[in-house]
Amino acid sequence: MRVALLAFDHPEYCAALANGLAETTDVRLWLPEPEAREASAGLRPDVRLTPFANPRLRQPAAQVATCLGLVRGVRRWRPDVVHLQQGHLWLNHFLPLLRSYPLVVTVHDATAHPGDRPTRKTPQWVRDLAFRRADRVIVHADTLRPQAIARGVRADRIHVVPHVAVGGPQAHPAAEDDGRTVLFFGRIWPYKGLEHLIRAEPLLSELVPRVRIVIAGEGEEMTRYRRLMAHPERFAIHDRWISDDERSQLFARASVVVLPYVEASQSGVVPIAYAHGKAVVASRVGGLPEAVEDGRTGLLVPPGDPAALARALARVLTDPGLRRALGEAGRRKLARECAPEAVAQRTLAVYRVARSQAARRAGVPVTT
C-alpha cells in the first residue's frame, strides 16, 4: 500500500506514525520545511520525506502556490490513500482536487481550545471542510466521537486510534527520583489549567514540604501566573520552546507529571510521561480518562479543583511504591496501545476501510 501523509504541524507525531507504517507500507511524508527538519532526525531511512514551503497565512498567492504544489506532488505519487493531520486553513479548500484518492483525516481537536489563539486563526467552518470531506476520520479517544459528530462527521465513519508514542527516554534514562518534583509540560493556554496547579501549591506544600513545581513550555505570557504564586521560590519556570534533549531531561528528573486541564481532547504529554516511566495526575476531562487509567497508570481528579489536585499529587509524591507501580503500568500501556507499530496496525485497518468505501463508490475492485 502507498500512503501519502500530509501535515502542516505535529512533526514528531507524524514521524512516529510514518515509522510504524513503514514496517508494512510505502510511505511518503509531506511536512513544512521547519517541521521536516525537526522530524528528519527520527525518521526511518525508508520513509520518503518531502519538505514544502509554508508561507504566512496572510499571503494568499503563496498559499495557493503551496497547496497546488502539494496536490501535484500527491498526484504524482499516486497513493492508495491520503492521510491528512487535522487540516489547514488553505489546503482544506483544495481537497476536492484529491477526490480520486481515499481521504483519512485525523482530528486532533474538533474545535479550538479556550484561549488557544494560534488555532483560532482557522475558522471553524474551514476546519469542518476537511472533517466532512474525509472518507474516514480518526480520533484519539471514544469520548471524542460526539465532538466529531457535532462537526458533521457521520458516526459510522469515525475510528478511535490511540495517540502514537513520542518522546522516548533514549537520551536520558530515568534519573534518581527525589520524590518532590512535579512537572507541568507543554503549551501554556487557559485550557491547560495551570492556574489551578498554582492555586494547589500552598496545600501541596503543607503535605510535601520540599515540593518543587517545574513549568516548561511556551504560550501565554506568564505575568498573571506569577502573580498567583503564593511561594514563587517553589516554582522553576522555563517559559520558552523546549528542545527534545531538554524535554527528555525534564521528564527523567520528574517524580510525577501533572495535567490540570479544564478542557481537553487528547494529550501528547501522557505518552511522553509513560515512555519515561512516570506516574500522571490529570483532570477527568475529554479523552484524558482513556489515556490515564485511574489508580493504574495515574490518578484522575475533577477539573478546576486545586484541593483535589494537591491531595492527588501528595499521594503520589509521598508513596514511592505507588509511583513505581503507576509508572511501570504506564510503560506497559504505552507498549501495548501507543507504540508506533501498534498504532500503525490500527491505522492500516482504517485505510483498508477507506479504500473499500472509495472502491465501492467508484465500482472498482480493491487490492491490498
Round to whole Å and give the CA distance between 60 and 73: 20
CA distance 130 to 139: 14
Domain 181-337 classification at class level: alpha beta
Alpha helices in the chain (DSSP H): 11-21, 33-40, 60-77, 124-133, 145-150, 194-207, 223-228, 244-253, 269-275, 288-291, 306-317, 320-333, 340-362
Pairing of strands 235-238, 212-216: parallel
Fold held by 2-164+339-362: Rossmann fold (3.40.50)
Residue 213 cell numbers, joined: 513545581
- How far, in Å, CA of 16 to CA of 298, rounded? 24
Q: Report domain extents, the chain.
A: 2-164+339-362, 181-337
| 78 φψ region: left (φ > 0), alpha (ψ -120 to 50), beta (else) | left
DSSP type of residue 294 = B
Among residues 223, 124, 235, 127, which one has the least CA distance to residue 181? 235
- Quote the pLDDT of residue 96: 96
pLDDT digits (tens, 9 = 90+) for 44-70: 999 999 999 999 988 999 999 999 999
Over residues 101-128, the pLDDT tens digits come to 999 999 988 887 666 666 667 888 898 9
Fold match flag (2-164+339-362 vs 181-337)? yes
Q: Are 138 and 120 in contact (CB under 8 A)?
A: no
Q: Give the predicted TM-score (pTM) of the model.
A: 0.83
Segments in the chain below pLDDT 70:
113-120, 168-176, 362-368
Q: How far is CA 121 from CA 30, 90, 116, 196, 251, in A?
A: 22, 11, 9, 27, 31
How far is Cα 148 from Cα 86, in angstroms, rounded to an integer? 12
Q: How high is the pLDDT of residue 115?
A: 65
- The pLDDT of residue 171 is 43
